[in-house]
Homo-oligomer: A and B are copies of this chain.
Amino acid sequence: MRLVTNEFVPLKNVKIDDGFWSKYTEIAKEKIIPYQWQAINDLVPDTEPSHAIKNFRIAAGLEQGEFDGYVFQDSDVAKWLEAVAYRLTIDPDDELEKTADEVIDLLEKAQDEDGYLMTYFQIKEPDKKFTNLLDCHELYCAGHMTEAAVAYYEATGKDKLLNIMCRFIDLIDKKIGPGENQLHGYPGHPELELALVRLYRVTGEERYLRLCEYMVNARGTEPHFFDEELKKRNGINLWGGYQERVDKRYNQSHKPIREQAEAVGHSVRAGYLYTGVADLAAETGDESLKKAAETLWDNITKKQMYITGGIGSQVHGEAFSFDYHLPNDSVYNETCAAISMVFFAQRMLRMNPDSKYADTMERLIYNATICGMALDGRHFFYTNPLSMWEEATKKAGVCGHIRSKRPGWFGCACCPPNLARMITSLGNYVYSAGDDTIYTHLYIGGEAEVNMPFGTVRISQRGNYPWDGRITFSVGEGRYTLALRIPAWARSFEIKVNGLKEKPEIRNGYACITRDWKADDSVYLNLPMPIEFIEANPLAREDNGRVAIQRGPVVYCLESADNGDKLDALRITDFNCFTEFKDESLFPGAVYIRGKALRRRDWEGGELYRPVVSGDEEEVEITALPYAFWDNREDTREMTVWLRR
């Protein structure tokens, strides 16, 4: 029995019209997608050519040449197509669709007779297909292209790419499985798992679900597939070097998934894998898998997540390190990893509409994801520190992976298109419906059509979130429960229906109002947003003695541009002196926060150490801006989220 208790309202039924997100959608539409198109066609000046489209043209026999780019270069085209699909869903555009169709025609031409489609192997090592699932991202690329195929089909009704990918997946299904002549393998970089469940859901083809199930269940079992595979390759890896052992924690194959109690390894791999696991549990009704997903979710969110929602606390392996180890300056926090957690949250919500999932999703979308992008839509962070000292990023190896300014498009361009697809598909994360309940998980303005057993319910949402916690809904006719998430950050809330106060029951963090709704009934939700000073669990040592500023779902930070250098010389002693104010210089409607702090005085003598001189501090005014907006001005020598108190 499926474990799906509620289904998200699909993107095509949700129209976002929101002061905050419409601006981001605009950036994704007008900047990222066209820019990525230029990039994959090697048309961006002063940037390393991507070669992504060219690889397909070579594979299709339309051009001569060698493969170039990362082994997973094809996935850039996949992510572009997927983002285009969402973009066309929310805002049809004939010309863009024509371009996408041409790309799909090209993919069709590039596909081998037997369904195989990955230009690296087709062009460069045709005899090495399926010999290195560990390093070569073969199944990863298939996963991304399958996601694109599903999205494009859902967006346009056109099934050419879907058919292309079904043919490829059919080939993979032949190659991989429990049979004697099959590889008992699974992706070195998970992604295909969640894509297979999407493909199953749109095609209804049970084999795709079973293939996913096989891969998830085989992962981490003995004899270990990656050990065997490496042996077959005589230890030679993708880069031509000899490798003694496989780092199994890195790709989450160190033990079977049901025995994994801690999130480990490469954080993007982890996020995609866990999303696929949750998907599979939901569709197959496997309670033990659901339990595994829950355990990993709790581990991450209770022990390994930054206050922004970021995950992956170390550059070594771009990975989780261990429980409560959350360094703020040497962290990795890849933008893609945060995005993968949004997916994971949505899948958990489908099985269990508990607000803890949506709370984290909200934390992620307002902080750890969009911080990856400059407001010009042209510069991107791969890594997202919570504390940045420019000199250290340039001179200290420990922060060598951190950038003080977002670079332009980069060679391994995973994060920008991932942001594009998340932002353009955000409508798919707002509402869900199950039994007689319509859940509102996110407070994003716009309209939605919710299909209920008794018919379609229209809901509209209006407000000025995340700056203001007052939201107004207009709901459609029918007897159902409207479940409004009460965020964990809210210390109180107020609900009125048609102007009259309600005291609804709270179930799993949702205020549930059940009634015979009339057309255009209005619901008013007020989530007061005082300025909050947040402390971390004492086990999270890096934050001891520090506070972060949060207001509503928005985490704030201090930048040198407003507060001068030496941000760590500041400490907050009086929480009550802080006030909010509007500053629209970077973003319309944005709320900033200012207050007083003490700053350690510079030392005259220039000595490095001295006996404590108490009270050698001066009062200064400090200004905090939303973390997601940092580094949108010239002067970004320092930034910090956690302030000393």
Q: Chain A residues in contact with chain B, CB under 8 A? A: 301-303, 305, 307, 313-317, 321-322, 325, 327, 330, 389, 391-392, 395-398, 400, 491, 532-541, 544-545, 547-548, 566, 568-569, 571, 575, 600-603, 606-613, 644-645
- Which of B400, B533, B612 is in CB contact (< 8 Å) with A547? B612
- Which of B303, B566, B612 is in CB contact (< 8 Å) with A538? B566
- Which of B317, B391, B601 is in CB contact (< 8 Å) with A325? B391
Cβ distance A520 to chain B, nearest Cβ, rounded Å: 37
Do B391 and A608 touch across chains, with their CB atoms under 8 A apart?
no
- Which of B322, B535, B566 is in CB contact (< 8 Å) with A391? B322
* Contact flag A644-B544 (CB < 8 Å), given A534-B609, A608-B302: yes
Q: List 11 A-B contacts (CB under 8 A).
A: A302-B606, A305-B608, A314-B397, A325-B389, A325-B391, A330-B398, A389-B541, A533-B611, A536-B608, A537-B603, A544-B644
Residues in chain B near residue A571, CB distance under 8 A: 545
- Which of B316, B540, B541, B609 is in CB contact (< 8 Å) with A608? B540
- Which of B398, B491, B537, B612 is in CB contact (< 8 Å) with A535? B612
Cβ distance A643 to chain B, nearest Cβ, rounded Å: 10
CA distance A299 to B206 in the complex (A): 69
CA distance A400 to B321 in the complex (A): 11
Do B612 and A534 touch across chains, with their CB atoms under 8 A apart?
yes
| Max chain B Cβ within 10 angstroms of own Cβ: one of A301, A325, A398, A532 | A398
Cβ distance A548 to chain B, nearest Cβ, rounded Å: 8
Closest 9 CB pairs of A and B: A316-B397, A538-B600, A541-B568, A322-B395, A321-B396, A538-B569, A544-B568, A545-B644, A533-B612
Do B609 and A537 touch across chains, with their CB atoms under 8 A apart?
yes
Cβ distance A155 to chain B, nearest Cβ, rounded Å: 38
Residues in chain B near residue A608, CB distance under 8 A: 301-303, 305, 536-537, 540
Residues in chain B near residue A645, CB distance under 8 A: 612
Residues in chain B near residue A610, CB distance under 8 A: 534-535
Do B316 and A400 touch across chains, with their CB atoms under 8 A apart?
yes
Do A569 and B544 touch across chains, with their CB atoms under 8 A apart?
yes
* Contact flag A392-B321 (CB < 8 Å), given A608-B303, A608-B305: yes
Cβ distance A625 to chain B, nearest Cβ, rounded Å: 20
Residues in chain B near residue A397, CB distance under 8 A: 314-317, 321
Do B392 and A600 touch across chains, with their CB atoms under 8 A apart?
no
| Max chain B Cβ within 10 angstroms of own Cβ: one of A313, A322, A392, A538 | A538
Residues in chain B near residue A548, CB distance under 8 A: 609
Residues in chain B near residue A538, CB distance under 8 A: 566, 569, 600-603
Q: For residue A389, which residue of chain B has the nearest CB?
A: B541
Do A314 and B536 touch across chains, with their CB atoms under 8 A apart?
no
Do B569 and A392 touch across chains, with their CB atoms under 8 A apart?
no
Residues in chain B near residue A315, CB distance under 8 A: 397-398
Do B566 and A321 touch across chains, with their CB atoms under 8 A apart?
no
Cβ distance A560 to chain B, nearest Cβ, rounded Å: 13
Residues in chain B near residue A536, CB distance under 8 A: 608-609
CA distance A316 to B645 in the complex (A): 32
| Max chain B Cβ within 10 angstroms of own Cβ: one of A395, A400, A548 | A395
Residues in chain B near residue A532, CB distance under 8 A: 611
* Contact flag A535-B396 (CB < 8 Å), given A541-B566, A541-B568, A569-B544: no
CA distance A539 to B396 in the complex (A): 16
- Which of B317, B389, B398, B575 is in CB contact (< 8 Å) with A314? B398
Do B568 and A396 touch across chains, with their CB atoms under 8 A apart?
no
Do B545 and A566 touch across chains, with their CB atoms under 8 A apart?
no
Q: For residue A307, which residue of chain B has the nearest CB?
A: B609
CA distance A233 to B395 in the complex (A): 29
Do B325 and A392 touch across chains, with their CB atoms under 8 A apart?
yes
Residues in chain B near residue A644, CB distance under 8 A: 544-545
CA distance A305 to B645 in the complex (A): 26
Residues in chain B near residue A391, CB distance under 8 A: 322, 325
Given A538-B602, A539-B602, A541-B568; 19 other pairs, CB 8 A cutoff: A305-B608, A307-B609, A313-B396, A314-B397, A314-B398, A315-B397, A316-B400, A317-B397, A321-B397, A321-B398, A325-B392, A327-B396, A389-B541, A537-B603, A537-B606, A537-B608, A541-B569, A544-B644, A547-B612
